[in-house]
Amino acid sequence: MQEHFTKEIENLKINIIKMASLVDEQVEKAFLALEIGDIELCRGIKAKDMEIDAYDNLIQTQCENIFALFQPVATDLRFIMSVLMINNQLERCGDIAVNISQRVKKISEHHSLIADTQILEMGKNAKEMLKNSIDAFIHNNVEMANVVMASDEKVDLLNKQIFETLVVQMQNNSQLIESCAHLIVLTRNIERLADHATNIAEDLVFYVEAKIVAHKKKLERIDEENQKHNS
């Protein structure tokens, strides 16, 4: 029974790593397409998304079967729970890669707008966060996961700055309203990509250290505001 359980866990690890690698590749291509305005590259991203969805279903099924057959506890239980959560985050990252590629098509006539903002820098940061969160999970590296979580604030700041820049562009030139609107949606997708990378890092901390760190900063801010209000 133990040998069968160990084999199932190993197969689960293999599949989540394969899925993570595929998602990482999709995101890499999406940002490359964004940077160089390659519409043809975008078509391949959409076609590959079905493979990510297939891994999503497979991993969910594997986790359900392990729960049903072996009733895991302690570290094994946390691992399977974290895989389920990370699987969900990765599937959404795959969807975001598709969303980014779709925006590339819609702004092809005003591609110079991207160079006039910090969108590529924001994308680079979010992409690195995802890559590092995946590496942190594969190697059980909590230190790297903490770096990922700390990086989210920079992406949020860039998102705010880009939004303000695009609003000014729309106010100054009505012909750019549609393209700028697409870019605002694009930055929202990049922000969500960084959020999913942060969630993966948080799930890794949960698995390795049995600590729930999700929403920690938000809760800390609320506590600080309450303390100020009560003082």
pLDDT at residue number 224: 55
Task: Classify residue 37 by its DSSP letter.
Answer: T
Structure tokens at 141: 């590296």
CA distances from 213 to 198, 199, 200 (A): 10, 9, 11
Whether 140 and 211 have beta carbons less than 8 Å apart is answered as no
Q: Residue 164 is encoded by which pair of tokens? A: 């303000």
Q: Per-residue pLDDT tens, the chain, 231 aa: give them.
A: 688 999 999 999 999 999 999 999 999 999 999 999 888 899 889 889 999 999 999 999 999 999 999 999 999 999 999 999 999 999 999 999 999 999 988 887 778 888 889 999 999 999 999 999 999 999 999 999 999 999 999 999 999 999 999 999 999 999 999 999 999 999 999 999 999 999 999 999 999 998 888 766 555 555 555 566 665
DSSP for residue 38? -
Contacts of 44 (CB under 8 A, 6+ apart): 29
What does the pLDDT read at residue 218?
Answer: 55
Rounded distance, CA 169 to CA 98, Å?
26
SS3 assignment for 186-228: HHHHHHHHHHHHHHHHHHHHHHHHCCCCCCHHHHHHHHHHHHH
Q: What is the pLDDT of residue 158?
A: 97
Burial of 104 (0-12, 13-18, 19+ CB in 10 A): buried
Domains and CATH numbers, the chain: 2-230 (1.20.58.220)
